[in-house]
Amino acid sequence: MTALPSGSVPAGGKQDCRAGEEAGIVRMAAAKVNLSLQIIGKRPDGYHELESLAVFADFGDRLSFRPSATVSLQVAGPFAAALQDTKENLVLRAAGGLLAGATFEGNPPGAAIRLEKGLPVAAGLGGGSADAAAAIDGLRALWKLPIEPEKLFELARSLGADVPVCLHGQASIMRGVGEVIDPAPELPDFSLLLVNPGVALATPDVFRAWQGAFSKVTDWPESFADLQSFVATLEDRPNDLEAAAISLQPSVREVLDRLEALPNCVLARMSGSGASCFGLFATLQEARHGAAALQVARPEWWVRAAACRRQ
């Protein structure tokens, strides 16, 4: 467990820091799934301009926050081993940013934070960004900080490109490097089958491996008549990083092939920069049937059926 001494992070203004809520605060850091991801240009600073439809599953990491004299982070759960060095964890950086943006009577408050890591790390599911967003929201509530939303989103942007959309927590069209967030069209009902083959992919490596022309994008419709029309629209908006990810981790191709072969899977695609992939299903029951089949065929893979959170 890594602890920051009370007062080690700068603080400004004047707030009532009575954080002694007995029950504590709990937040879920939902998995972010990029149903599409198109590279549409490159900025002078070297970053790529993107457009992506991002949705959130009803499953993810779990964070709890309790009052304490210092800010500390404990990581548990099936993927905790990948986060043993917590010094630079985005959760602690989010805590430091919140403390730096407020001032208090006396010493700044602390929090004992527990992160139960249920999402694979470096998996294209926004886990670290979702954790940071959950920390911003949970600590703001624990410390009773009356911070306006724009200030919270400024902090989110400083922590990473995906943190703002995770803080927003609703289906969105992401543009730029992720800092421009617009509401998604009205989406039909569907469920997700999330699969990771047990490998990690670093986002910078995948972008460096990407080759090809920039995508041309068109306007999204306001809504979709049914799941079939939604899938048809997604087929015209692929994940441009998929081929690059497969060149680095060929197991991504096997995941996609197995998803495509499942009964009732209407679309199989990689999420984000990988290596996690998703299958789209009309119902959660169909997704669960697919999950059961994959767990038999590939018991070493991480497999999770999940509903898509509604707007």
Residues labelled catalytic: 32, 162
Question: For residue 154, how many other CB atoms are within 10 A of its CB?
Answer: 14
* Gap between the Cα atoms of 215 and 237, Å rounded: 9
Q: What burial class does residue 106 get, using C-beta atoms within 10 Å of its C-beta: 0-12 exposed, 13-18 middle, 19+ buried?
A: exposed
Report yes or no: 194 and 31 within 8 Å, Cβ to Cβ: yes
* Gap between the Cα atoms of 308 and 30, Å rounded: 10
CA neighbor of 90 nearest in space, from 130, 121, 124: 130
- DSSP state string for 271-293: -TTSS-EEEEESSHHHHHHHHHH
Cα atoms in the 13 Å half-sphere on the side-chain side of 100: 15
Tell me the chain's radius of gyration from C-alpha atoms. 20
* Gap between the Cα atoms of 102 and 104, Å rounded: 7
**Both tokens assigned to 221:** 């419709």
* Gap between the Cα atoms of 297 and 138, Å rounded: 39
